[in-house]
Amino acid sequence: MPEEKTPEQMKAERLQQRADRLSAEAQRRSEHAFGMYGRFAGGQPLLPGHHSYRSARRAKDRADAASDRAIDSYKAAQKAEQEAKWAKAKADARSEIADAIATRSRPWEPSDFQVGDIVTVRVFETSSSTYRVKRVNKKTLTLDGGGGGWDDPKREYDRVLSRTRDGHTITNPADGDAA
């Protein structure tokens, strides 16, 4: 059975489709602009006062405008590609964190931690960081931020993704009960 996609994953796919469409449009516009310069391919300069000057000037202005539109399309395609990459990375990170949380049989508690444990905690919605436990509090862990105390973060137990003690890493708090 196919795996159900999250709204974030569907948004990432839509953004990637948009980026692909804009990239194809930019390529088409670039080729069109290149073709418009065909009249000037031999290097013939514009000759003021010549009977062909006005039409050559208009043709060059049109080709320049088409080139500008192609460049704008290319920039829009690049921006859309970046947005699509960010949306996919965000969706993947959220999915990974949600999977880690879903596999737990019970929530983390203060009794699951000791000073010196290494913990991986969710910092933002889509990222995590690893710290050493400095203090185990009733509702939070005080983590060693490495700045001598002034930057020690506190994180709630529901933000903990894994704990490592004596080289053994667990992601489910119930696994630590047997150890």
The predicted structure's pLDDT at residue 26: 93
Residue indicated by tokens 């516009």? 29
Q: What CA–CA distance (Å, rounded) separates 21 from 25?
A: 6
Percentage above 90 pLDDT, the chain? 26
Q: Are 111 and 130 in contact (CB under 8 A)?
A: no
Encoded tokens for 145: 């931020």
Q: What CA–CA distance (Å, rounded) separates 21 from 18?
A: 5
Is pLDDT at 41 greater than 90 in this prediction? no
CA distances from 145 to 1, 123, 127, 159 (A): 44, 13, 16, 16
pLDDT tens figures, 102-158: 888 888 889 889 999 999 888 877 778 888 998 898 988 888 877 666 677 888 888
Q: Is the dihedral of CA 11, 124, 159, 103 positive or negative?
A: positive
Q: Are 141 and 124 in contact (CB under 8 A)?
A: no
CA distances from 42 to 30, 67, 179 (A): 20, 19, 81
